[in-house]
Every structure is written in C-alpha cells, then in structure tokens.
Chains A and B, each alone.
Chain A
Amino acid sequence: MTAGSGVAIPFPMTSSDDPSAEGVVGTWFALDGEAVTEGQLIAEVQLDKVSQDVHAPSAGALRHAVAEGVGVAQGGVIGHID
C-alpha cells in the first residue's frame, strides 16, 4: 500500500441522494503493484448495498490507496495508476 502518484482512481458517485455517503472497496480484483491494462476490471465498490465495477483509467502499475472494507467518500481516491 503506497500513497502513489500518477492517475488517480476515484470512488464513483453511486448515491445522488446523499453525495456525502461513504462506501467501501468490496473487492480488489487487481493486486497492489500489479500491471493493468486500460479498461481492465480492477475493483468492485459498494455503497448502501449497491455495487459498482471500477475499471482502470489507463495502463500501468496499480497502487491501492485503501484496503478492502475501509470507508471512502464518493469521489475519494481509492488508488493510482503509475
């Protein structure tokens, strides 16, 4: 787990009713440090029992910014592509 730089991966907006609601990364499909391709499925996030897939915004090395199960605000950074 590193702070990372490069392209930030935000937690998607999933609750328009409550933009301040926090969610979690339910599953990291791609591991910390792993090389990913643009568009690859890398994570599944969850907020109020609604889950959503997150795809890599670009190719590169994925750095997790949060572990599975840790609270993240919508729009907050869950990881980076270096």
Chain B
Amino acid sequence: MTATETPTSEGTRRITTAKAMAEAIALEMRNDPNVFVMGEDVGAYGGIFGSTTDLFAEFGADRVIDTPISETAFIGAGIGAATEGMRPVVELMFIDFYGVCMDQITNHMAKIHYESGGAVKVPMVLMAATGAGYSDAAQHSQSLWGTFAHLPGIKVVAPSNPYDAKGLMASAIRDDNPVLYLFHKGAQGLVWMAKNPRSIAHVPEEAYTVPIGEAAVAKEGSDVTIVTISLSVQHSLDVAEKLEGEGISVEVIDLRSLVPLDTETVLASVAKTGKLLVVDEDYKSYGMTGEIAAIVAETDPTMLSKPMVRLAVPDVPIPYARTMEYGILPTRDKIEAAVRELAS
C-alpha cells in the first residue's frame, strides 16, 4: 500500500490515461536509447487507443516501428531484442489476439530467464488493450489478465487511472522481467468512447514510478471491502461515494497488479471490515475472484463475518448486443447491490 501515491484530480495538469501512458514511454525513450516501440498502428496512428500518441513524431520510424499483422513475428522480434539488451515496448493491440502468439508469450518471453539458469534477461513490456462496454463483441472485449497471471514468469499490471498508468509504465520499462501491461479501453479517457471523469486526472510532468506489486487503497472505508482492478476500480469508487451518503462505508482496494499480488493490503482490509466483495471484469471461474477468496480462506476464514461475494463475467463470451453485454458486465448497479447485501 502506498498512501502517498494515491491518484488525485487536484492540480491543473490534467491528462487522460492514454496520454499518461504515451508520456511515460516518451520519457523512458529520451533517457535510454535502448527503449523502442513496436506493434500494429503504433506509428503515425499513435495506437488505436492512444497509447503511443505523438511518439512517432518525436522519435521517428527507427524507434517507433509499425509492423504487419504478424503477432508471432513481432513479439518474437521483441523478445530477441530484449535478450540482446534492448528494452522493447511491444503492443499487441487487443489482448484477445493472444491466441495467435501465445507460444512466443508463454514459452519464450516468460520462460527464457528460467531456462537459461538466470543468465538471460527479457526486459520487455508487452502491452495490450482489454475490456468491454462498447459492443466490440466476443473477440475484442475480453480482459484475460487471469489467464496470464496463472502462467508463471510474467508480471501482470492493469492501471485504473492516469497517475498509475504513467508510473506503472515507467516501472514496467525499467523492469528486467517481462511485464504484461493491460490497459482498459474504457479507462483511457478517449473522446470517442463513453468516459468516466476518473480517466482524466492530474499527472506530474516529470518521470516517476509506481512500484509493481503494491496495491493502492483507492478509498478508505470500514464496513465492506471491494477488491478490484482496472476499470472496475472506477465503477467501485463511484458506488462507494454514492453509498457514503447513506452511511455505508466502503473500502476500495485497487490491486494495480495481479503478479506480484499484494496479499498484505487485501488481508489487512478484510481483517478490518470482515466483509469482502471481489469485482472482476474477467471470467469468473478459475480467476482473480477465486484467487482472492482462496488467499483469505488459507489465511484465516474467520476474518469474514459473512460469506464473501464474487462479481465477475459469468463464464460466457462477451455479447455484442448492448443490453446483453451490460447484462453480464460488473456494472455499478451490480456492485451497489452486492455491497448493500453485504452491509445489511
């Protein structure tokens, strides 16, 4: 937990999550000639969700490299560059595209350090857009962080706001391990998508880091703990602020990374409130909600004064039709209902 790094909308230098990501990459590129960017539409287009905006104009085609639609090839090229000492930031556009390049990700990027007996490092960032909510259907709307957190050898981060997006990107680029950086399309602050004001906040101009593996107490509370990540943090904070007026005090834990997982902050909060809701936009079974439940049960199940509640996508493909899509997503209404039930 890092109370001093709680994001804030105070201050006048407000930017979007997308701009914060690009700014972090630019700062690292200016400081280290080994950092470069590669992926589909990362150049003049600036990333289809704004993650590399303006980098091409500053650094040119040698360091911001547009690739063909060839995920296995360009992720493999990134791994090769990383093993030779460069620090590639490779964008896989949508995380849903992992299917075509999973061998490079899990059998090479994640395992080379181990299989070389620690002799070879892979200081690479693989970034990808996650998440649903805008009718992009079953192959462009998944979260999938639980899938990668399950596989050993990859750090997995997913910021919920501009401040963390910049600080976690800097940490990811400087890390000697492969880091999967998952940004939610709905938290990028893009003008062409429905946006929560929490996606636009004060970000310091200078370089700084947010440590990977430390959760944030996004809001302190005493009655119910919500453990969540990414865009669901924004929804949970909206609900927590609404319920505060009715005397229900909700603590919101933003995990910020699944690997490493900050169990200490989770357990401290659950010990305090005795009531736990885990909110996840990934699939329910065998995922983050079950992992958090298991950690509480293994540590001390008597911490819970009521059975905990899991709110996640109910193991179905994400529907295209908007009403059906919102029917399966962990929306504010469902979060609020679950908190009310736990608090009653």
A binding-site residues for B, Cβ under 8 Å: 24, 26-27, 29-30, 34-36, 40-41, 44-46, 49, 51
Contact = CB atoms under 8 A, between A and B. Distances in A.
A41 B192 contact: no
B191 A41 contact: no
A80 B14 CA distance: 19
B200 A29 contact: yes
Q: Mostly helix, strand, loop or mixed at chain B's interface?
A: loop
Contacts of A29: 14-15, 200
Interface in B156-214: 189-192, 195, 200
Contacts of A44: 16, 191
A29 B189 CA distance: 11
A34 B12 contact: yes
Q: Which of A26, A27, A36, A46 has the most CB of B within 10 A?
A: A27
Nearest to B19: A41
Nearest to A27: B191
A27 B200 contact: yes
B189 A35 contact: no
Given A44-B191, A51-B192, A30 B12 contact: yes
A40 to B, nearest CB: 8
Nearest to A46: B191
Contacts of A46: 191-192
A30 B14 CA distance: 7
Given A46-B192, A49-B192, A51-B191, A27 B12 contact: no
A73 B155 CA distance: 47
Contacts of B192: 26, 46, 49, 51
Contacts of B195: 27
Contacts of B200: 27, 29
A49 B191 CA distance: 9
A-B residue pairs, 4 tightest by C-beta? A26-B191, A46-B191, A29-B14, A51-B191
A26 to B, nearest CB: 3
Nearest to B199: A27
23 contacts: A26-B191, A26-B192, A27-B16, A27-B195, A27-B200, A29-B14, A29-B15, A29-B200, A30-B12, A30-B14, A34-B12, A36-B12, A40-B12, A40-B13, A41-B15, A44-B16, A45-B191, A46-B191, A46-B192, A49-B192, A51-B190, A51-B191, A51-B192
Nearest to B12: A34
Contacts of A41: 15
Contacts of A24: 191
Contact of B12 (A35, A45, A49, A51): A35
Contacts of A40: 12-13
Nearest to B14: A29
A34 B12 CA distance: 8
Given A27-B16, A27-B191, A40-B13, 13 more contacts: A24-B191, A27-B189, A29-B15, A29-B200, A30-B12, A30-B14, A34-B12, A35-B12, A40-B12, A44-B191, A46-B191, A46-B192, A51-B191
Contacts of B189: 27
Q: Which of B14, B16, B190, B200 has the most CB of A within 10 A?
A: B14
A49 B14 CA distance: 22
Q: Which of B12, B191, B192 has the most CB of A within 10 A?
A: B191
A24 B191 CA distance: 9
A49 to B, nearest CB: 6
A36 B13 CA distance: 9
Contacts of A26: 191-192
A29 B11 CA distance: 11
A75 B279 CA distance: 45
Contacts of A27: 16, 189, 191, 195, 200
Contacts of B190: 51
A82 to B, nearest CB: 16
